[in-house]
Structure 1
C-alpha cells in the first residue's frame, strides 16, 4: 500500500517545486525562495506541516543538508517553526506594509490577518521636548499617551506608543481594543491628510522583547510618525516597534525627471 502523506502535508506535496542545477544560485536558496513564495501567497497556510527533510530531499533529488539549509533559512525568517513531536510547520508570512498613511490595524485586516489589540496604558503626561516639538505644543503641555500591543493571528507583531493632544479624541480601552486608532480619530471627525515618517532599527530591550515574544537584544524595526490633519495641525505622534522577523516595510522609488 502506498505511503499516505501526513495530515497537513497535501499542500506541500502539490507544489510544483524544482531546482535548476545549471544556475549559479545555490540549490538551497532556490528551494527556500519557492517555499517562501508559497507561504506569502497563502498556498501554504499557517499550521501546514512541511514534511520531513528526507521526504523533500528524495522528491527533489537533493541532499538532506541542502534541504535542511533551505528550511533553516525560513526558520530564521520566522516563516517556519520546528515543534518537537509535530515537525516543521508554517507559522505566518511576514507583514509587508507599504509606506503610506494607513494604520497597522487596517493593513492587517485588509490582508486577512485577524488583528487584535491589548491596551497596556492610557494616561496623560507632560510633553517631553521631542513630543512637544512634534505636536507643535509648548514643552510640558499635557498630552494623552497610549501604549498597545498589536497582534495578528494571536501573535504579537508590534508595540505601539502614541501621543495625542489632550481632548482630541474621547475613547477608552474597549474602543482601542476593538479597532484601530485612526478609525477612532476619523469617527471623531478628524480628516487625516499627511504624515512625516522615519524608519530605523535597533536592539530590543528585555521588556520590549518579552512583549513581542522575541529574544532580548533581538532586532526590531522602529517607526516614528507625526500625522497631520487637513488643516495642517499635528494630531498624533506615533513611536512604534515592529518584529523584524515578522514585518517589512515596502518602498516605491521613482526616478526624478
Structure 2
C-alpha cells in the first residue's frame, strides 16, 4: 500500500476495526494504522514535493531540434533521437560495427543496441523480450542487418546526446563534412500539391507531406522544380544545393 501511494501518487489508508458488544449493540473501534496519524502530514508533504519535482523535470525537458548536414545530404529539424539515428546510420554505412560505436559511447554500451538473429522485425524483438517496453527504432529503413543479425538503435536519448553525437562524428571518415546546429525559426512557408515547403531563418529547407517530414529533401525539391519550371542548375551549369533550390521553389510558388 505504501508503495502504491508513492508510485501512483495515490492516497490509500488502512484502518483497523474492532467490534465491541455493549448493551446489545455492536460498536466499532476504528483506528487508522497506515499511515500512522503522526506520520500522515509528513507523507502528504513528501508526495506533493515528488509531484512538483516531476512537473519541473517535464517542463525543463530539452526539446531542441537540429539541422544536420552530411556532405551534400541535408536533414533539417531533427529531434535528438533522429540526429543520433542519422549519424549512426552514416557510421554503419562506412563500415563501422555496432561494437565500435558502443565503444565510442561507453556510458550507453549496455543498451545502445539490441540484436536478434537473422532478419528480424519489431515482433521478433518483442518475442525476445516479453513484457518489456522496447524503446528502439523498428521501422524497416531503421534496421541494421549485419553479419547475420539485425541490430536496432535505442530511441532513448537525454542529457549527453550531443556528446554522443560528437563521439560518433569523430569515427567518420568525412567528419569535417558532418555538422549540425539548432533549428531556427520558420522564415517562409508555402504549400503546393500537398507538400509544405519551409525555409528557416538559417536558410535551411525542409519539406513535409501529410504531417511527415521527407528525407532527403533535395530529390523532392527537384521533382517540384520540374513541375514549376524552375531551373535546378545555376548559370555555370552546376546543380543547385538544397538551400538554393528550396529558395527558388518557394519563390515560384509565391508567384502562382
Q: TM-score range by the shorter chain?
A: under 0.3
Counting strand residues as a fraction of each chain, which structure ranks higher?
1
Give me the TM-score of the superposition, normalised by structure 1.
Answer: 0.24
Give me the TM-score of the superposition, normalised by structure 2.
Answer: 0.24
